Structure 1
């Protein structure tokens, strides 16, 4: 390997690392500032706080009764109570119901955390796509400016030749018309760049006109052929936040079903009391109270509901896994195809089209080529540029999709 080649490779690696670091900073900013993520974080904190109170005993109840005889010979209450009753009662769930309630709260907390991770994952994906749109608009605008310079040069040559005699008026109009078309396209691309800037800053909860990198570059795309789709699927099944959300939902529903089954068993309420007569405590009480689960229809309906909720959660997980498998296979295949298309455009189509434009321009300068030939070569180059920009953008989107599905960087 020559020193020049080594220097180029080192610069490419450093540039790719800088781009990845820039996007990582944008994603980290979105995670800290995006209101949607903040809402999910607060919901997760609330769910975690509920774990501590789940399964706790209810507050005890205090009860007092006064027995006041009526006055004689009237019917109004007497002046003092003959008997006073004081009681304290505590309901105590049995059969592990409190533990099951704590388990439900714990799974709900895990589900909330996974939901927060899913929102962060989606925001990260949207940041990557918005950045890719921003880069694509920049790339298209830069290439269009180059084409516009060529058409300006052609229009000037056509005017000179027409002024000197051998030129044609339609050469000037043809070159000028093409130049106007490129100017209109450039204005549209600037609008696209501005829209991508606004969208990206919106994801970061920043002002719409906050500056972004003036020379954005696409992220380096790993060689997808070295990453088997099966290995990516294994990562997705473990790390995709939406799958973890559904798994936590299944566990919560299943634990709720077990709690409903335990509701067939009675709970107990314990109590103690004291009886006071004529200012003296003369008797004490000990109480035990059981609820009788006689409402069979209600409990069977609750069991059917809990079983249906558990089955629904499992079916949703199966559907989600199927969708992830399909989307990951599709993105994997398309990313490989896009990589090859981009290589052909970069190494064959674009260089040949640029050579064609320069050759046609030299031919027109030497009066060996007509304006129509230059315009045809320029339009061929323009189509190649448009396809290259589209393929570059689509490649970045597919990369972001794979990373969204596997829940991390590729």
Structure 2
């Protein structure tokens, strides 16, 4: 029977531990490998090497919480200690993984903002409130009941005052219901529906703007992170260049000036790293504000930019049609126009009076002796006032129509502008990717080889290094510019490309 190997480690104050070497060898663990924990009913915890591709289970937190409660109720003290230790080990890992995931890609940021942005939530609640005003707009007003006790002091007889209908001379019960003139209720419902659509479109406008800001901020965050990464890589290269210069200077092959220039270049790059870190921090604060989080909340490093559709998949005529149909601002102005038209028609309909219908049973002592039917309506005598209201409503319709046309024209112009800028950014990216960057990298490799053999001076080597860095940054900037143009196009469309 093979011997059983045992090992132990100590938990720190933060419930962290080092996996013993014997365990690492047995599980063939390397740096950044994942460990899988299996908690058995008897309280034992089994550690295995996680299979490649395993990801955090979104149900892990509820399951571990249930497991901890179940252990506290039913398991032995030793089992509780072992299981609780595994839970405490697993929870920080789970929380850290979930926290680190936010910011690594654009989709996670947009999902978080859609669920947590307070400004968007307020607009959505306002839209929901507007939708609830549709039914009451077309409803009849509540009926009115009036009770009249005549001669309740019983004047002329020996009975004293009373509030009981059977003990007064006469009681009238009047039930009245107001009815608007025909068509008014339907127009009010149409106006309320249009206002509800307008509120929904305003919420869509806000989300389109917020999503565009998040996408632009994420692209800039990616640029700052990429700038920092490129600068660090080239800083390492300059450090190696300094070592080569030191070696050649020690052999009397170059002047000390080469070493000093390499050190100055490193100092300049470290200064640029400080600026890049500051840019990242500011962009993190901007992203957190757009997400509705605290300015210091952590964000993961951006991993990649979202893919853009091919130019052939973006025909201008099709996108223009989508703008007219789906642009949130155009839809909001169209809904405003519909509401104005319904209110104008309602104002015209006010030429016809509303009327009330009432019915009155009359009770004398303990029985009803007669019934009265009543109809009343207002007389529309103030024609000058009504004509002014009608002219006002007609002017509001024309104003709404002009705003709707202006919104559509502005959206079409912005779309054309952003499509042109996107195409230019893509052409620039292609040029840098296929020509400028390969030429710069080839020049740097040639300069490095030439400097080591003494055929190229240090100034030419530094210039080749700067050209390579400039080309890589220019490529990154064109990619980010394309992302920003795409964000504006999606804002105009009100939907993803």
Q: TM-score range by the shorter chain?
A: 0.7 to 0.9
Q: Which residue of 2 aligns with 1:399?
A: 486
Superposition pairs of residues 23-34 of structure 1, within 5 angstroms: 23-34=106-117
Alignment partner of 1:167 is 2:250: no
* Structure 1: distance between partners of 2:298 and 2:223: 19
Superposition pairs of residues 272-287 of structure 1, within 5 angstroms: 272-277=359-364, 280-287=367-374
Quick one: which of 32, 40, 43 aligns to 2:126? 43
Q: Are the counterparts in 2 of residues 271 and 288 from structure 1 also a CA contact under 8 Å?
A: yes
Q: Are the counterparts in 2 of residues 225 and 336 from structure 1 also a CA contact under 8 Å?
A: no
Q: Are the counterparts in 1 of residues 105 and 302 from structure 2 also a CA contact under 8 Å?
A: no
Alignment partner of 1:57 is 2:140: yes
Alignment partner of 1:209 is 2:297: yes
CA distance 1:70–1:45, shift in 2 (3 Å): closer
Q: Which residue of 2 aligns with 1:5?
A: none
Alignment partner of 1:123 is 2:210: yes
CA distance 1:232–1:71, shift in 2 (3 Å): closer
Q: Which residue of 2 aligns with 1:17?
A: none
Alignment partner of 1:87 is 2:174: yes
CA distance 1:294–1:354, shift in 2 (3 Å): same
Alignment partner of 1:157 is 2:244: yes
* Structure 1: distance between partners of 2:155 and 2:180: 48
CA distance 1:220–1:294, shift in 2 (3 Å): same
The structural deviation recorded for 1:96 is 0.9
Which structure has more relative contact order (CA 8 Å, sep 6+)? It is 1
* Structure 2: distance between partners of 1:50 and 1:226: 42
Superposition pairs of residues 340-379 of structure 1, within 5 angstroms: 340-379=427-466
Q: Which runs of 5+ in 2 are unaligned?
A: 1-103, 163-167
Q: Deviations over 1:77-114 (max 9, x none)?
A: x7365443321111110121011111111112222222
Q: Are the counterparts in 2 of residues 48 and 106 from structure 1 also a CA contact under 8 Å?
A: yes
Q: Which residue of 2 aligns with 1:267?
A: 354
* Structure 2: distance between partners of 1:42 and 1:309: 27
Q: Find the residue that maps to 2:358 and give its secondary structure.
A: strand
Q: Which residue of 1 aligns with 2:410?
A: 323
Q: Are the counterparts in 1 of residues 105 and 303 from structure 2 also a CA contact under 8 Å?
A: no
185-194 or 158-167, which moves further after superposition?
Answer: 158-167
* Structure 2: distance between partners of 1:393 and 1:121: 19
* Structure 1: distance between partners of 2:308 and 2:188: 47
Alignment partner of 1:386 is 2:473: yes
The structural deviation recorded for 1:358 is 2.4
The structural deviation recorded for 1:58 is 0.9
Q: Deviations over 1:329-358 (max 9, x none)?
A: 111111111111101111111111122222
Q: Find the residue that maps to 1:62 and give its secondary structure.
A: strand
Q: Are the counterparts in 2 of residues 158 and 167 from structure 1 also a CA contact under 8 Å?
A: yes
* Structure 2: distance between partners of 1:72 and 1:319: 74
367-376 or 288-297, which moves further after superposition?
Answer: 367-376
The number of residue pairs the alignment matches comes to 386
Quick one: which of 267, 280, 283 aligns to 1:180? 267
Superposition pairs of residues 60-71 of structure 1, within 5 angstroms: 60-68=143-151
Higher helix fraction (1 or 2): 1
TM-score scaled by length of structure 2: 0.72
* Structure 2: distance between partners of 1:221 and 1:116: 26
The structural deviation recorded for 1:26 is 3.4
258-267 or 45-54, which moves further after superposition?
Answer: 45-54
Q: Which residue of 2 aligns with 1:13?
A: none
